[in-house]
Amino acid sequence: MAVMESENTSDKARGIPLPTGPLAMLGINIVAVVFGISMWALVTSYGVVGLPTPLAVARQAVIQAQSGLLWSDALASLGRVFTGFALGILVAIPVGFLMGWYKIARAIIEPYVQFFRTIPPLAIIPLAIVTMGIDETPKIFVIFLASFLSSVVATYQGVISVDRTMINAARVLGANDFTIFRRVIVPASLPYIMVGVRIGLGSSWSTVVAAELIAAQSGLGFRMQQAQLYYDLATIFVSLISIGILGLIMDRIVMAIDSVLTAWQEKL
Amino acid sequence: MTPKISFRDVRKTFDIAGRTAFTALEGLNLDIDDGEFITVVGPSGCGKSTAMNIAAGLTAPSSGQVLVDDAVVAGPGPERGVIFQQYALFPWLTVRQNVEFGLKIAGHNRDERRRISDHFIALVGLTDFANSLPKTLSGGMKQRCAIARAYAVNPKILLMDEPFGALDALTRVQLQDQLLAMWSKERRTVMFITHDVDEAVYLASRVVVMAARPGRLYKIVNVDLPYPRTEDMRLSSEFSELRNEVWRAVYHPAAAA
């Protein structure tokens, strides 16, 4: 009986008679988050490892928000991410297309891309600071590198994965190489590019925070590093939670753009 | 009258390290008349798709040549429309945009494109789906869209590579009738590859039977049934005699080998 009902309401429910609509899922999400925060409150109220309580963190967040410090830190971090990320994507997409379209370009560029991909971008920071100084340039450069490397490989994969039959179909309709590139290769590789953009944004965000921990005078990472000196755990928590929330929002924005741009895809 | 398509000693081999590893097509000679509907049938490996790809200009022959209107085929061109088994629609374009793809390249303006695409979309019965994306269409509808797309650029020749091979039996029969109806209205020279003997006889005025290893022309069977073909004809004794003749021709070489 219960199994039959679940089949009627949703084909995804595998014999578990639970509602799985988008609203119900959101409800379960909220319950899970509330449960997590309650557990945090419970653990800290017994004084375990001296962590701040949720209330103390919330109070600190309000103080920082009212003083404007939270916003200026968030803006500083976001500004770096967007500059480095945008530059990385802008360079990665044409380079990825070049690598996919011309075998010669692939042979020249691929060794460098594969080599630098094995080095974590953060490992470049000491070099970047020594050669570029401690202002914005080294941080943006490292973020650029992180987003470039993940997007360039995705774009290149997208180009070489385009169905040959589709290229032939365009060719027999009279398309020359340039038309095929513009009207077949570019749209067909878009889903791959968007995967690269998403990964690139994720690695940019994690890189900026780490870069600010090492050398910065502003930003969420810098704020945490300062708070560490004064044993200000509440501020560290505020920064961490802000980093998580901003990262999540950015990822969701990219996903929303992706679902509009690649709505034509046959998805399972 | 000069033939529309002429295969002259067309040979295609695949070489590994300078030695012929596989002969896909050996010395094919075949003339196809203007406005004729021929089908090419044969076991897999008989080179039927290779022959079509050479005529389309998507594959170069190892020796010999294909002439279209007495000109040597050197590459693909819009005067030779190709319809693929896997539809090869552009999934990010609607039915109409797919049909207009070649028209845009040919430089037709918006009104002309609209008029031509309207005509062919109606002809394949997709008017209600003109603004739909391919992902929302069934296999048969996708192939009808591909047929409209190929027709739209006004090719003199249609090359069809097992276009109905991926469809269920009923849809296949319906599309065969639609294709013939379209062919009688918009006469083109058609070279239709299939592995289905019934389909080969039903559609063609001549069935070209090919044999494998090496891929070669084995026999040409004339189909003296009048057009328009009807479902009654499928059940007639003439049809089954022709069908048996083609069937024997397809399987004879394999039995001898």
Q: Specify the pLDDT at position B14.
A: 87
Q: What is the pTM of this model?
A: 0.82
Half-sphere exposure in the Cβ direction for B112 (13 Å, CA): 12
Mean per-residue pLDDT of chain A: 87
Distance from CA of A144 to the nearest CA of B (A): 30
| pLDDT bracket for residue A16 (50, 70, 90) | low
| pLDDT bracket for residue A15 (50, 70, 90) | low
pLDDT tens profile A78-96: 999 999 999 999 999 999 9
Cβ distance of B102 and A174 shorter than 8 Å: yes
Whether the pLDDT of residue A246 is over 60: the answer is yes
**A177 near B CB under 8 A:** no
| pLDDT bracket for residue A167 (50, 70, 90) | very high
| pLDDT bracket for residue A10 (50, 70, 90) | very low
What's the mean pLDDT in B204-219?
A: 92
Residue type, A113: V
Q: Return d(Cα A255, Cα B9) in angstroms, integer.
A: 56
Which candidate, A192, A21, A29, A14, places its Cα nearest to that of A96? A192
Query: A115-140 b/e with 16+ CB inside 10 Å = b?
Result: eeeeeebeebbeebbeeeeeebebbb
Whether the pLDDT of residue A199 is over 70: the answer is yes
CA A31 remoteness from chain centre: 25
CB neighbours of residue A18 within 10 Å: 10
Distance from CA of A123 to the nearest CA of B (A): 41
Whether the pLDDT of residue A2 is over 50: the answer is no
Q: Specify the pLDDT at position A35.
A: 95
Q: Specify the pLDDT at position B2.
A: 83
Q: Return d(Cα A70, Cα A72) in angstroms, integer.
A: 6
**B131 near A CB under 8 A:** no
Cβ distance of B92 and A163 shorter than 8 Å: no
From the number of C-beta atoms within 10 Å of its C-beta (0-12, 13-18, 19+), residue A249 rates as exposed
CB neighbours of residue A87 within 10 Å: 17
Report long-range pairs for B46-50 (Cβ below 8 Å, ≥24 apart): B46/B210, B46/B211, B46/B212, B46/B215, B46/B216, B47/B12, B47/B210, B47/B212, B47/B214, B47/B215, B47/B216, B48/B193, B48/B210, B48/B215, B49/B161, B49/B162, B49/B193, B50/B12, B50/B24, B50/B25, B50/B215
**B133 near A CB under 8 A:** yes
Element spanning B72, H or E: strand B71-72
Q: Specify the pLDDT at position A18.
A: 64
Q: Specify the pLDDT at position A17.
A: 61
Q: Specify the pLDDT at position A22.
A: 80
Whether the pLDDT of residue A250 is over 50: the answer is yes
Whether the pLDDT of residue B28 is over 60: the answer is yes
Does CATH place domain B1-73+163-257 in 3.40.50.300? yes
Whether the pLDDT of residue B253 is over 60: the answer is no
Cβ distance of B88 and A187 shorter than 8 Å: no
Whether the pLDDT of residue A4 is over 60: the answer is no
Residues 56-95 of A with CB under 8 A from B: none
Contacts of A163 in chain B (CB under 8 A): 88
Residue type, B180: L
| pLDDT bracket for residue B209 (50, 70, 90) | very high
Candidates B56, B77, B89; nearest CB to A174 = B77
The domain limits of chain B are: 1-73+163-257, 80-154
Share of chain B above pLDDT 90, in %: 78
* HEC secondary structure over chain A: CHHHHHHHHCCCCCCCCCCCCHHHHHHHHHHHHHHHHHHHHHHHHCCHHHCCCHHHHHHHHHHHHHHCHHHHHHHHHHHHHHHHHHHHHHHHHHHHHHHHHCHHHHHHHHHHHHHHHCCCHHHHHHHHHHHHCCCHHHHHHHHHHHHHHHHHHHHHHHHHCCCHHHHHHHHHCCCCHHHHHHHHHHHHHHHHHHHHHHHHHHHHHHHHHHHHHHCCCCCHHHHHHHHHHCCCHHHHHHHHHHHHHHHHHHHHHHHHHHHHHCCCCCCC
Identify the closest residue of chain B to A260 by CA–CA distance. B92
Tokens of B45: 């490996």
From the number of C-beta atoms within 10 Å of its C-beta (0-12, 13-18, 19+), residue B207 rates as buried
Whether the pLDDT of residue B17 is over 80: the answer is no
Whether the pLDDT of residue A13 is over 60: the answer is no
Whether the pLDDT of residue B255 is over 60: the answer is no
Q: Specify the pLDDT at position A6.
A: 40
Q: Return d(Cα A141, Cα A134) in angstroms, integer.
A: 12
**What is the number of residues in chain B?**
257
Mean per-residue pLDDT of chain B: 91
Cβ distance of B80 and A184 shorter than 8 Å: no
pLDDT tens profile A98-144: 999 898 999 999 999 999 889 988 888 888 888 988 788 888 999 99
| pLDDT bracket for residue A11 (50, 70, 90) | very low
Half-sphere exposure in the Cβ direction for A198 (13 Å, CA): 17
Q: Specify the pLDDT at position A9.
A: 44
What's the mean pLDDT in B92-112?
A: 95
Cβ distance of A172 and B58 shorter than 8 Å: yes
Q: Return d(Cα A132, Cα A84) in angstroms, integer.
A: 15
Mutate which: A167, A173, A261, vs B, most B CBs within 10 A? A173
Q: Specify the pLDDT at position A43.
A: 87
Q: Specify the pLDDT at position B257.
A: 45
Contacts of A189 in chain B (CB under 8 A): none
Q: Which residue has the tokens 């004729």?
A: B36
